[in-house]
Amino acid sequence: MANVVVVGAQWGDEGKGKIVDWLSVEADVVVRFQGGHNAGHTLVVDGKVYKLALLPAGIVRPGKLSVIGNGVVLDPHHLVAEIAKLEADGVEITPQNLKIAENATLILALHRELDAYRESSNAGTKIGTTRRGIGPAYEDKAGRRAIRLMDLAEPATLDDKIERLLAHHNPLRRGLGLEEIAPSAVRDELLSVAGRVLPFMCAVWDLLDRERRAGKRILFEGAQGALLDVDHGTYPFVTSSNTVAANAATGSGLGPGAIGYVLGIAKAYTTRVGGGPFPTELNDDIGQLIGDRGHEYGVNTGRRRRCGWFDAVLVRQVVRTSGLDGIALTKLDILDGFAHIKVCTQYRLDQSLIDRLPASQAAQARVEPVYETIEGWEGTTGKARSWADLPAQAIKYVWRIEELIGAPVALLSTSPERDDTILVHNPFQD
Active site residues: 13, 41
Looking at 155-256, list the stretches that DSSP marks H as alpha helix, in order from N- to C-terminal side.
Answer: 158-176, 183-197, 204-213, 247-250
Q: 263: closest CA among 100, 55, 413, 67?
A: 413
Amino acid at position 355, single letter: D
Would you give the distance in Å from CA 183 to the centre of its chain? 33
- The set of residues, in sequence order, having a beta carbon less than 8 Å from that of 227 and lying 6+ positions away, is 8, 10, 11, 233, 234, 238, 314, 318
Q: What is the DSSP string of 334-361?
A: GGTT-SEEEEEEEEEETTEEESS--S-H
- Give 116's contacts (C-beta < 8 A, 6+ positions apart): 131
Q: What is the CA 123 to chain-centroid distance, rounded?
A: 28
| Distance separating alpha carbons of residues 328 and 315, to the nearest angstrom | 12
Is the Cα dihedral 352, 356, 362, 368 positive or negative?
A: positive
Please give the distance of CA 203 from its chain centroid, rounded to a whole number.
Answer: 23
Cα 167–chain centre separation: 32
**Dihedral (CA of 419, 424, 427, 429) sign:** positive
The full 3-state SS of 364-392, as one line of letters, equals: HHHCEEEEEEEECCCCCCCCCCCHHHCCH
DSSP category for residue 148: B
Amino acid at 165: L
Answer for the pair 72, 33: CB distance below 8 angstroms, yes or no: yes
CB count within 10 Å of CB 360 equals 11
C-alpha closest to that of 217 among 251, 259, 250, 248: 259
DSSP string covering 14-41 = SSHHHHHHHHHTT-SEEEE-SB-TT--E
The conformational region for residue 388 under phi > 0 = left, psi -120 to 50 = alpha, else beta, is alpha
> Is 105 within 8 Å of 165 (Cβ atoms)?
no
